[in-house]
Amino acid sequence: MAMDIAAVEAAGAGAHGIGLDGPPLRSRGWLKVLDNAIGWLVEIPAALLVLAEIGVLLSGVVSRYVFHQPLIWTDELAGILFLWLAMLGSVVAFRRAEHMRMTAIVAMAGPRARAFLETLALVAGLVFVSLVLHPAYEFASEEVFVQTPALELNNAWRAAALPIGFGLMLVIALIRLLETADWKITLAALATGAALAGGLVALQPFLAGLGNVNLLLFFVLGVGMLVFSGVPIAFAFGLSTFAYVTLTTDAPAMVVVGRMDEGMSHLILLAVPLFVFLGLLIEMTGMAKAMVGFLASLLGHVRGGLHFVLVGAMYLVSGISGSKAADMAAVAPVLFPEMKARGAKEGDLVALLAATGAQTETIPPSIVLITIGSVTGVSITALFTGGLLPGLVLAVTLCALVWWRYRHEDLSHVARPSRAVIGRAFLVALPALALPFVIRYAVVEGIATATEVSTIGIVYSVLAGLLIYRCFAWARLYPMLVTTAALSGAILLIIGAATGMAWALTQSGFSQTLAVAMKSLPGGPLGFLLVSAVAFVILGSVLEGIPAVVLFGPLLFPIARSVGVHEVHYAMVVILAMGVGLFAPPFGVGYYAACAISRIHPDAGMRPIVGYMLALLVGLLAIILVPWFSIGFL
């Protein structure tokens, strides 16, 4: 695979803020030394925590399936380490400026306005971690009185991850502000943040009497302003929730931290870092390259063949990796050079890559599927079973458009591989092709949980890389572990912040109001599905998939059940609608991630992607109208 870990890291960063370099910084020796020291202080433990999680969970799998004597302490220890991994990973992501954010508006601003917005986003992070630092310390202090049942450890050892993580982010934010080259911009951003905070505090008596109007002020206007100005989504959610709870309710600030802890501590979410690491492993070990090579030998000689291979390869790779950036980074560098040599236009390539990213959102073991199961209680097994066919339906609609666009492609210079060549390619790819089917079979048949099967997949990939493909770059292992921690921390902090916001919305009575409004929609279940699809296309383009799911999943899934929509069918509609929004320009950050991975300018794909988005919408409509695609095999 001609793709190093730096490219995957660039893909992850691109998904969060493509094309933006942050505020201009100036070099100060002592600040650089301090920043590097914090980097080593956080990255090494974060990498070790990823390894520790794999080791702990693997020991539980071996004891359960090999020795038939389950270890009762493994889940408890994994849960303790998991919160530390989430917080230290968040710190790594904060230091690298890799927290997920919506940057379309910031990218269109002029250089000076962009520098101001970037600095303002940094100030927002500074304000958030400053506000929650003391409540996090109080929360951890309260946990002193709680003891874990199996290991009999003081639960403060786990909860201490929260104040320590927020404290480290506070130090990093201060370092970045001190490094800012233009003090006028820094002072303007600090003044803006102080003015907004002071104004809200001054208006507290007035806000207290507004009732549920505050929901619009804090969670629509407030979140919208923060997100569109480029503030990382986790901090936008956290700031709005903290302000709402402390200024308009009698609840203590510690409640916000408690809800964040609850959101980040679901054991099912342990699968997130494991599948992220697994996705990086299959690229590094050459497994993805082998799968793509086999598909290319089958279809490379037909018109539009390599485009069909791209669709099929993304379907297969998404069955292994939970990270969209890793999926695209594993496939695009293998196929794009040959596709360009055959005359394919760059814009069409990046457009199709982005479209396949949206198409494969439901392919297990998608992190979005795992998140939905975590926050709504829907069976992970049912979601994994139901996710395969909807992805295939969208693949068919994309392939139909590819066939039309490339029906006149000249392939007179392309030789058709012999059966022997295809056979050899199949044998080489067989160990890699087996992995997604093993993962799906183990979860769907109830043999292992998603977390357990991700651990098994990691061991399988390591052995395949060492013994079969003879491709295992030990030097890349540490950067991969750090990247895993950073991406997982960014995801989990969003889940925590969104959980806090969802709690605030529920406590306000908003969920009951929303239920009444959604139930009264004309058209019954079909009308509910269509409105939900439109809403989640918009939410996916603004908030990303995971925060939208965590925020609105607990509110809307009970309503779906009450109006007669199967929860798995509803999950597929919601996920695919969010995928369309996530990968559709100009706001969808997934599209810009595809551009970063492809090294193609975003403008090139703006026109070609329209057709692919329409194809995806046709497929989405088919899934809405035919529930069997989602629940036929349950």
What would the pLDDT profile of 445-485 be if each residue is shown by its tens digit?
Answer: 777 777 888 888 899 999 999 999 888 889 999 999 999 89
In contact, 174 and 126? CB cutoff 8 Å: yes
Whether 221 is covered by a domain: the verdict is yes
The pLDDT score that the predictor gives to residue 576 is: 93
pLDDT at position 20, please? 46
- Asked, for residue 274, whether it belongs to a domain, the answer is no
Instruction: Indicate if the alpha-carbon torsion angle 264, 265, 271, 275 is positive or negative.
Output: positive
- Position 25 scores a pLDDT of 61
**CA–CA dist 538, 48 (Å, integer):** 38
Q: Alpha helices of 508-544 — where are they, by DSSP H? A: 510-519, 524-543
Q: Two tokens at 79?
A: 């849960």
pLDDT tens for 526-566 read 999 999 999 888 888 776 667 778 878 888 898 898 888 99
The predicted model gives 268-277 an average pLDDT of: 83
Q: Region 202-231: what's the mean pLDDT?
A: 86
Number of domains in the chain: 1
Determine what percent of the chain is predicted with pLDDT higher than 90.
28
Answer yes or no: is 154 within a domain. Answer: yes
Per-position DSSP letters for 591-615, written without gaps between them = HHHHHHHHT--HHHHTTHHHHHHHH
Greatest mean pLDDT range, 166-170, 303-307, 372-376: 166-170
Among candidates 397, 308, 347, which has minimal Cα distance to 608?
A: 347
**Residue that wins the pLDDT comparison between 462 and 436:** 462
The rounded mean pLDDT for the chain is 84
Domain that holds residue 56: 12-268
Are 612 and 349 a contacting pair, CB within 8 Å?
Answer: no
- Decide if pLDDT at 340 tops 70: yes
pLDDT of residue 6: 33
Q: pLDDT, tens digit, for every residue of 1-52?
A: 333 333 333 333 333 333 345 566 655 678 888 888 999 999 999 999 999 9
If one compares 86 and 266, the residue with the highest pLDDT of the two is 86
**φ, ψ for residue 147, nearest 5 deg:** -120, 135
**Using 50, 70 and 90 to split pLDDT, how confident is the model at 320?**
low
Q: Is residue 84 part of a domain?
A: yes
Residue whose structure tokens are 């009450």 = 562
Q: What is the DSSP letter of 147?
A: B
For residue 105, being part of any structural domain is answered with yes
CA distance 205 to 209: 7
Q: What is the pLDDT of residue 23?
A: 66
Q: Residue 601 falls within a domain, yes or no?
A: no
Q: What share of the chain is helix, strand, coil (3-state, %, to 5)?
A: 80, 0, 20
More confident: 91 or 292: 91
pTM: 0.83
Weakest mean pLDDT among 319-328, 390-399, 583-592 = 319-328
The verdict on residue 27 lying in a domain is yes
**pLDDT (0 to 100) of residue 18:** 35
Q: Find the mean pLDDT for residues 438-443.
A: 79
- Which position has the higher pLDDT, 123 or 329? 123
| Per-residue model confidence as pLDDT tens digits over 355-371 | 998 888 888 877 788 88
- Mark 38-73 as b/e (b = at least 16 C-beta within 10 Å): bbeebbebbbbbbebbbebbbbbbeeeeeeeeebeb
**How much is the pLDDT for 358?**
87
pLDDT at residue 443 is higher than 80: no
Tell me, yes or no, whether 68 lies in a domain. yes
Backbone angles phi, psi at 154, to 5 degrees: -70, 125
State the average pLDDT over residues 67-72.
82
pLDDT score, position 286: 85
The CA-based angle 405-387-592, given to 5 degrees, is 50
Q: What is the mean pLDDT of residues 590-611?
A: 82
Q: Read off the pLDDT band of 575 (50, 70, 90).
A: very high
> Minimal CA–CA distance to 50: which of 439, 486, 453?
486
